[in-house]
């Protein structure tokens, strides 16, 4: 189910098939401690011993190894009610860095984060590239600049994730179904970026990453299963269950642009009916004139313009249809609306909920995106961090 772009993360299943010799035991316990520190924050050795069930000497020695490997560092002290003050340990965020890239139609965004997930450098650049070479160049130079800005040695950037519309086909080494990015479907582009940057890269669908971003940093935190609906130039959905992406058999899960949809009017594909363009078309249909954008229509609706208001109603109904279909198939506990319409979700939320009541008895919580335009970038960072943490651990403990 985990359809990585390239450079797949170390295969968990195979690792579990490995036998349990002593070396793996040691490493498993070090890993246990490190994960605990990441999840619950700094802690003393005695505390870790109590919480993990390991003995105090074991914790001491494992922590010493982790510190020697640069994975963990002292982080202040804490005085208990009475007794000796405890020395606290915390993961060293500077043990490695991850790179996140969001290649969108209008903007290219790049960020570098440390292992704590703190973004240490970032750039947002207009994407005016109209050919594949220009785009790859832009990505490479921007990424280099951001890494330079961060003051981090390039070799410390352990892993990167690129978000893009469409789906990366690892065999043909190219992105498919990315209609809105000119030239971006050519083969070998990602390989070129990877080579020039010297960083292992994965490529993922932007809606999927946005979902992961909302899960890690946003409104999806703690959800058992939620769907992120990205409504912009295109239409996409990302699904996150138990903190992991649900990508389907071929990486096409959530391609809700393909949902069947027979309107009274023309549009045959749902994508054409829900995306930003459709709002404009609907507004025109109801009699609005002038140079319209989706944003303009929403703004007009907010001011009480009747044709715009009706266009928004139509859009809400279509979104409700999408949500209803997703709810019936997936049973999420949360649906997040994001993408280009993010700014206008306040207008849509009420009507969508109302239409939904008429469509289905299932009513998942519906919430606007908290991260807005940053969702994809932060999702890319979060995903890159996941494997970066593994890689750093492996690299640094292997040397010992």
- Binding residues (CB under 8 A) for its own copies: these are 1, 17-22, 25, 28-29, 32, 52-54, 58, 223-226, 237, 241-242, 246-260, 262, 321, 324-334, 359-362, 364
Judged by beta carbon distances under 5 to 8 A according to partner kind, the member of its own copies, DNA, none in contact with residue 81 is DNA
Strands 97-103 and 107-114: antiparallel
Element at 231 (helix H, strand E): strand 225-231
Tokens of 294: 């989706």
Find the shortest distance in angstroms from Cβ 376 to its own copies.
20
By beta-carbon proximity to DNA, the closer residue of 79 and 249 is 79
Q: Applying CB under 7 A, which of residues 13, 53, 198, 249 lies at the interface with DNA?
A: 53
73 binds DNA (CB under 7 A): no
Nearest to 200 by CA among 231, 242, 154: 154
C-alpha to C-alpha distance for 78 and 261, rounded to whole angstroms: 61
C-alpha to C-alpha distance for 111 and 90, rounded to whole angstroms: 24
Interhelix angle 132-150/189-197, nearest 10 degrees: 30
Find the shortest distance in angstroms from Cβ 225 to its own copies.
4
Q: Is 151 helix (H, G, I), strand (E, B) or coil?
A: coil
- For tokens 């996409």, what's the residue? 236
The answer to whether residues 374 and 230 touch, using CB atoms and an 8 Å cutoff, is no
The answer to whether residues 286 and 299 touch, using CB atoms and an 8 Å cutoff, is no
46 binds DNA (CB under 7 A): yes
Find the shortest distance in angstroms from Cβ 61 to its own copies.
13
C-alpha to C-alpha distance for 233 and 59, rounded to whole angstroms: 52
Judged by beta carbon distances under 5 to 8 A according to partner kind, the member of its own copies, DNA, none in contact with residue 57 is DNA
C-alpha to C-alpha distance for 33 and 43, rounded to whole angstroms: 10
Q: Is 186 helix (H, G, I), strand (E, B) or coil?
A: coil
Q: Applying CB under 7 A, which of residues 80, 222, 287, 350 lies at the interface with DNA?
A: 80
Judged by beta carbon distances under 5 to 8 A according to partner kind, the member of DNA, its own copies, none in contact with residue 381 is none
Distances (CA, A) of 20 to 52, 236, 353: 19, 42, 52
Q: Find the part of the chain contacting DNA (CB under 7 A) among 80-88, 148-156, 210-218, 291-299.
A: 80-88
By beta-carbon proximity to DNA, the closer residue of 61 and 360 is 61
Judged by beta carbon distances under 5 to 8 A according to partner kind, the member of DNA, its own copies, none in contact with residue 80 is DNA
Find the shortest distance in angstroms from Cβ 147 to its own copies.
35
26 binds DNA (CB under 7 A): yes
C-alpha to C-alpha distance for 33 and 27, rounded to whole angstroms: 10
85 binds DNA (CB under 7 A): yes
By beta-carbon proximity to DNA, the closer residue of 57 and 350 is 57
Q: Applying CB under 7 A, which of residues 31, 45, 204, 389 lies at the interface with DNA?
A: 45
Q: Which residues bind DNA (CB under 7 A)?
A: 19-23, 25-26, 29, 44-47, 53-58, 60-62, 79-87
């Amino acid at each position: 189910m985990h359809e990585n772009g390239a450079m797949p993360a170390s295969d968990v299943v195979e690792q579990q098939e490995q036998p349990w010799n002593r070396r793996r035991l040691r490493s498993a316990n070090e890993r246990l401690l490190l994960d605990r520190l990441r999840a619950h924050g700094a802690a003393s050795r005695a505390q870790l011993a109590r919480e993990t069930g390991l003995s105090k000497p074991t914790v001491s020695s494992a922590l010493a190894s982790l510190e020697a490997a640069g994975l963990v560092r002292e982080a202040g002290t804490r005085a208990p009610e009475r007794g000796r003050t405890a020395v606290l340990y915390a993961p060293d965020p500077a043990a490695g860095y991850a790179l996140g890239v969001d290649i969108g139609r209008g903007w290219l965004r790049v960020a570098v984060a440390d292992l704590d997930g703190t973004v240490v450098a970032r750039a947002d650049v207009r994407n005016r590239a109209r050919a594949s070479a220009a785009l790859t160049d832009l990505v490479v130079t921007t990424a280099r600049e951001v890494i330079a800005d961060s003051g981090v040695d390039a070799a410390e950037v352990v892993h990167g994730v690129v978000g893009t519309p469409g789906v990366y086909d690892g065999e043909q080494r190219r992105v498919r179904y990315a209609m809105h990015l000119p030239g971006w479907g050519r083969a070998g582009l990602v390989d070129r970026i990877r080579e020039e940057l010297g960083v292992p890269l994965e490529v993922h669908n932007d809606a999927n990453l946005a979902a992961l971003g909302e899960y890690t940093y946003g409104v999806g935190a703690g959800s058992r299963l939620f769907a992120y609906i990205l409504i912009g130039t295109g239409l996409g959905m990302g699904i996150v269950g138990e903190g992991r992406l649900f990508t389907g058999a071929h990486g096409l899960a959530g391609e809700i642009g393909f949902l069947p949809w027979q309107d009274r009017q023309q549009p045959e594909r749902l994508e054409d009916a829900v995306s930003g363009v459709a709002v404009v078309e609907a507004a025109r249909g109801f009699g609005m004139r002038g140079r319209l954008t989706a944003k303009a229509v929403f703004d007009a609706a907010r001011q009480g313009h009747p044709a715009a208001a009706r266009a928004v109603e139509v859009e809400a109904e279509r979104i409700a249809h999408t949500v209803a279909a997703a709810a019936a198939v997936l049973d999420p506990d949360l649906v997040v609306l994001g993408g280009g319409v993010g700014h206008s979700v306040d207008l849509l939320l009420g009507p969508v909920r109302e239409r939904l009541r008429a469509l289905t008895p299932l009513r998942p919580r519906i919430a606007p995106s908290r991260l807005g335009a940053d969702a994809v970038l932060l999702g890319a960072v979060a995903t890159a961090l996941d494997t970066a943490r593994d890689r750093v651990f492996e690299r640094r403990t292997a040397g010992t």
